[in-house]
Chains A and B, each alone.
Chain A
Amino acid sequence: MSRMSGEPEQGRRLRAVPPDTATPPTADELLPRVARGDEAAFATLYDAVAGRVLGLARRVVRDPAQAEEVTQEVMVEVWRTAGRFDAARGSASAWILTMAHRRAVDRVRSEQAHTKRASRVAASEAHVPYDEVVEDVTARLEREQVRRCLGRLTPVQREAVTLAYYGGHTYREVAEKLQTPLPTVKTRMRDGLIRMRDCLGIEMEGRA
């Protein structure tokens, strides 16, 4: 791939735009326009983030049809509540993905029967290949960074974090699965994320 040479651009984690156009507006730029009822901005925002929302939803809920429903619900909710987004509290993409994760998890918890859930968990622990077609260099570098940073956690930290995030489990369920006391699991989740944060270089002091 000849595009491999460039440095990842800051703030371009959300993409979905042909390479020959000018730098597309970021989710952070689009969201205030969406909040003012700008439907074109919403369509652009959809193109920029829906693939990631759908990918996350599928990872958590497993079922493609349900993942699409979650994606639609989340994007409409983004439209509806865009005015509540507060840039001081984080990035637009984190806001959207947080909403997506919560909704995916809620769906798993409210609808999944016990047996379905068991098989879903097994599936979510399998390696997930990624789709080259919609993958661009920036996304790939970011994925590698996330994997590298996940690799720096202790095994228990990593397991606690991934079971909760990708598996949609509560920390109580994680404690049961890992046969670890509840306070330990809570601590491992927090310590693991703090280590991830430092590895990813995320810093909010100036923003919050």
Chain B
Amino acid sequence: MNADVHTLAGAYVLDAVDDLERTAFERHLAECESCRVEVAELGETVARLADDTVVEATPPGLRERTLAQAARTPQLRVSAAGASDTRRTGRWRQLTVAAAAVVLVAGGASAVTWSVSNDRISNEQASSDQARQLAAVLDAPDARVFERPLQPGGAATVVVSRDRDRGVVLLRDLPDAGPGRIYQLWLIRGAEPARSVGRLPEGARATTTVIGPVARAGTFGVSNEPVGGSVAPTRILGTVELS
């Protein structure tokens, strides 16, 4: 077993990792039987920590709302293997789909910004338009992946499908944007003005987002801007060449 990855077992079961670390660790788990036992045991252990919290009296309205919502929520059909579809996947795609698959609750204002949810949802379960868009990019035969560390911290991964005219951006470990500031995403083509393709919510330091159109954009960029965003990037953290 890879000792370095494996030391993440504790942080992993405590949910103290980011999405990409979680994905990397889960890949490691898939290849390591003894690790799965350890993680299962530590997962049970961590769940016991919930015993040391107040057991709340649940308000009656919550029960009604929950049961009603469940009643109109279709249940997931689990395939025999229960595993995600890996037929078409290259290595990067496994990583990216799994990371992106941690995604999926539509997040507020922007139709293309997703916030990270706790559940692993694979593409066949994707229920929203956003989920389909994301799966469409990741599934595209011409999809290509570009990765770059950012200054002064964090990393950006961009998957681009020119055919679909969309890209998927994964950002992680961004430094705190600072009070009253956010991160904004850009596409840049040659000497043309940078085009804003999204903003992260205030306080967000990671995201998975569909951007586009990307057709002839040559560069993706992340910048630090005042809340509300800017018309042109001011403090650029980093750029990713999309070719």
> Interface of chain A, helix or strand or loop or mixed?
helix
Distance (Å) between the CB of B63 and the closest chain A CB? 6
A 164-190 contacts with B by CB, 8 A: 164-166, 168-172, 174, 183, 185-190
CA distance A184 to B118 in the complex (A): 26
CA distance A51 to B115 in the complex (A): 26
Given that A39-B67, A114-B203 are known contacts, is A98 also in contact with B47, CB under 8 Å in the complex?
yes
A192 and B76: CB pair below 8 A? no
B 41-75 contacts with A by CB, 8 A: 41-59, 62-63, 65-67, 69-71, 73-75
Per-residue CB contact flags for chain B residues 77-97 toward chain A (1 = under 8 Å, else 0) read 110001000000000000000
B75 and A76: CB pair below 8 A? no
B66 and A197: CB pair below 8 A? no
Interfacial chain A residues near B45, Cβ < 8 Å: 193, 196-197, 200, 202
Given that A90-B44, A172-B173 are known contacts, is A114 also in contact with B179, CB under 8 Å in the complex?
yes
**B124 close to chain A: CB less than 8 A:** no
Q: Which of the candidate stretches B13-21, B130-138, B183-191, B228-236 sits at the interface with the other chain?
A: B13-21
Range class of the A interface residue count: 35 or more
Given that A50-B63, A72-B69, A174-B16 are known contacts, is A134 also in contact with B56, CB under 8 Å in the complex?
yes
Kindly identify which residue among A75, A90, A99, A171 contacts B70, using a CB–CB cutoff of 8 Å. A75
B 104-118 contacts with A by CB, 8 A: 107, 115-118
Query: What is the chain B residue whose CB lies nearest that of A202?
Result: B44
Kindly identify which residue among A51, A54, A79, A200 contacts B73, using a CB–CB cutoff of 8 Å. A79
A106 and B63: CB pair below 8 A? no
**A111 close to chain B: CB less than 8 A:** yes
Query: What is the chain A residue whose CB lies nearest that of B200?
Result: A110
**B36 close to chain A: CB less than 8 A:** yes
Query: What is the chain B residue whose CB lies nearest that of A192?
Result: B10
Kindly identify which residue among B59, B70, B118 contacts A76, using a CB–CB cutoff of 8 Å. B70
Interfacial chain B residues near A150, Cβ < 8 Å: 49, 52
**B202 close to chain A: CB less than 8 A:** yes
A103 and B117: CB pair below 8 A? yes
A133 and B107: CB pair below 8 A? no
Query: What is the chain B residue whose CB lies nearest that of A195?
Result: B45
Residues on A facing B (Cβ under 8 Å):
13, 35, 37, 39, 42-43, 46-47, 50-52, 54-56, 58-59, 67-68, 71-72, 75-77, 79-84, 86, 89-91, 93-94, 97-103, 105-106, 109-115, 117, 128-131, 133-135, 139, 142-143, 145-147, 150, 161-162, 164-166, 168-172, 174, 183, 185-194, 196-197, 200, 202-205, 207-208
Please name 10 pairs of A and B residues whose Cβ atoms are closer than 8 Å in the assembled complex, sorted by A: A52-B55, A75-B70, A79-B73, A80-B75, A84-B76, A90-B47, A170-B17, A183-B7, A197-B41, A208-B40
